[in-house]
Amino acid sequence: MTRAWPGLLERGRAGMTDLAKVLSYLSKPSQISDHGTSCCTNARRWIRAFDRSAAFSHGNWHPPTWIRERYAWGPHRWPVAWCQIPDSEVLDCGCLAGVATEVFRMRGEVASQIQMVLRWSPLVAEGWRLMWERAGESGDWIRGGLCYHEATAVARDGCLAIWDPTESRWIEPDVAMTASCSGVVALNLADQAAWSGTSTIWGSAELRAGHWTTMSADDAAEQIRMSTV
C-alpha cells in the first residue's frame, strides 16, 4: 500500500523541493464554470449528444476518445465556461478532464477529476513550459521533470479507474508506477463528496479523498533527492 503525502510539505528541507511546489500548484482541480443560463445549458446538451453519437454503439458505452480527437492539447486561458467548450479548438488538461468527467457523469457513472503529478523528461517538460509562456500563460505547473496534470477518476468494478483524456487512454497502475516517462508520482482524489461510500482503490494503492498519495515511499524520496541536487 502507498502512504499519504502531506499536500504542502511544510516542514524541513522538503518544503523547497520541486515536488512540493507541484503538489501545491492548485489546491483543487480546475472547474469549468456555468453561467446558469441557456448558453451553458445548451453547451452541456451538445456535449451529451456528441458523446452519444461518437461513443455509444451496440448498446454499450465506449471510452470518450472523441474529446481528444476534437480538441488539441495546449494552453488555454482561465476562467472557462461551458458555453466556450463547443467552439474551442485547444484545451488544456484541466478543461479536457472537466469535459471527460461531465461525460462520465452524464452516462450515470460515479466520476470526478483527479489531480496528479507525473514524471517526464526535463527536456520535454521544458518545451511545454516555453509553450505556455509564449502563449502568455503560467508555466508554474512544471518543475524540473515533474508536471501537474488532471484526469478523470471513474468507479469501475468495485475499484477506481483513471481515464486520461489528454492521452485518450486508461492509466494502468502497474505500468504508471514504473514508467520513466509519464510515470505517476502522486495523486489527489480531490472531490470527497463524490467518493463517499465508494471504493477508492487504484491498483495496490488506496487513495484518500482530499489527500495527496504517493505511489511509493521510495519514489517520493527519490523525487526529493533529485529535486535538491
Residue 71 lies in a domain: yes
Residue 8 lies in a domain: no
Residue 60 lies in a domain: yes
**Cβ neighbours, 10 Å, residue 124:** 14
Residue 55 lies in a domain: yes
Q: What CA–CA distance (Å, rounded) separates 181 from 175?
A: 10
* pLDDT of amino acid 228: 46
pLDDT values of the chain reduced to their tens digit, one per residue, 229 residues:
333 333 333 333 334 499 999 999 999 999 999 999 999 999 999 999 999 999 999 999 999 999 999 999 999 999 999 999 999 999 999 999 999 999 999 999 999 999 999 999 999 999 999 999 999 999 999 999 999 999 999 998 889 999 999 999 999 998 776 656 778 999 999 878 888 888 899 998 899 888 999 885 555 554 445 444 4
* pLDDT of amino acid 194: 85
Beta bridge partners of 142: 147
* pLDDT of amino acid 15: 40
* pLDDT of amino acid 227: 45
Residue 6 lies in a domain: no
Q: Are 188 and 160 in contact (CB under 8 A)?
A: no
Domain that holds residue 135: 13-227
Q: What CA–CA distance (Å, rounded) separates 155 from 173?
A: 15
Domain count for the chain: 1
The CATH number of the domain holding residue 149 is: 3.10.620
Residue 66 lies in a domain: yes
Residue 4 lies in a domain: no
Residue 97 lies in a domain: yes
* pLDDT of amino acid 4: 36
C-alpha separations of 93 from 70, 85, 109, 114 in Å: 14, 13, 21, 11
Please, where are the H alpha helices in 25-75? 38-55, 66-70
Angle between helices 93-106 and 38-55 (to 10 degrees): 80
